[in-house]
Amino acid sequence: MRKAYEELFWRHHIKCVRQVKRDNYDALRSVLFQIFSQGLSFPSWMKEKDIVKLPEKLLFSQGCNWIQQYSFGPEKYTGSNVFGKLRKCVELLKTQWTEFSGIKDYHKRGSMCNILFSDAILEYKLYEALKFIMLYQVTEAYEQMKTNKVIPSLFRLLFSRETSADPLSFMMNHLNSVGDTCGLEQIDMFILGYSLEVKIKVFRLFKFNSRDFEVCYPEDPLREWPEISLLTENDCHYHIPVC
């Protein structure tokens, strides 16, 4: 592990590591912290849609009433009010993202990030919004696949697994556990990067001296998406490398 950190210092000019709170949201926390602190703009598809209305869109336009079984991390809540709770989470994400992307001063964004990400109630709502955004993209890809449209290969890989053959099984078997009993898996990292239109570069220190030491999610971004970096010692918990 020491050799891996030396590689980061000498070859990638990483001077220190920003420690991220260790829980089952830390991958989402590490990604969103950097999006906000860098003042990145909304993904192009979010600019075209009112993301606050997406929970109702899945229900009324696409008949996804199974979304009432959505689980908010450790909160084992299901029921008809799921849509209201999801809407508030997504609305908070939209409001905060809009605010951070409009701040030009780097130091001000950093201090505001420190305040926001120390508020457990608010930050957990943001992570649940990200989970829902991922679910929405999975659902959209599934609907396109059913009509024989071309979809990114990462979604074909997702749907090829028995435990995530459709959006419902992906939610029940994987997404509902995120924030509660587990974090994001590698395939989830691909979906997260695709959904947020960022290239997530991860230094996997336990894979030092192998081709998997440095990986990107997604591997081939569709456009020149902005890049953020994470590092992990075990594919379970993530921290932020600082140059």
Give the tens place of pLDDT for each residue, 211-228. 888 899 988 756 689 999
> What pLDDT band is residue 7 in, cutting at 50, 70 and 90?
confident
What is the value of pTM for the model shown?
0.94
Residue 1 binned pLDDT confidence (cut-offs 50, 70, 90): confident
The CB density around residue 69, as the number of other CB atoms within 10 Å, is 13
pLDDT band at residue 78 under the 50/70/90 scheme: low
Burial class (CB in 10 A: 0-12, 13-18, 19+), 145: middle
On average, the pLDDT of the chain sits at 90
Query: Are the C-beta atoms of residues 100 and 109 closer than 8 Å to each other?
Result: yes
Type of residue at 178: V
Strands 16-18 and 199-204: unpaired
For the sheet with 238-242, list strands across it. 16-18, 238-242, 227-232, 199-204, 214-217
Tens of pLDDT, residues 29-71: 999 999 999 999 999 999 888 899 998 888 776 778 888 899 9
pLDDT of residue 5: 67
> How confident is the model at residue 75, as a pLDDT?
81
* Nearest in space to 44 (alpha carbons), one of 218, 217, 192, 195: 195
SS (H, E, C) 65-119: HHHHHCCECCECCCCCCHHHHHHHHHHHHHHHHHHHHCCCCHHHHHHHHHHHCCC
Q: Are 188 and 174 in contact (CB under 8 A)?
A: yes
Phi, psi of 132 (to 5 degrees): -65, -40
Q: Are 126 and 92 in contact (CB under 8 A)?
A: yes
Residues sharing a CB contact under 8 Å with residue 3, sequence separation 6 or more, in sequence order: 208, 209
Mean per-residue pLDDT, 172-201:
95
What mean pLDDT is predicted for residues 236-241?
88
User: Which DSSP letter does residue 203 get?
Assistant: E
The residue ranking higher by pLDDT, 177 or 76, is 177
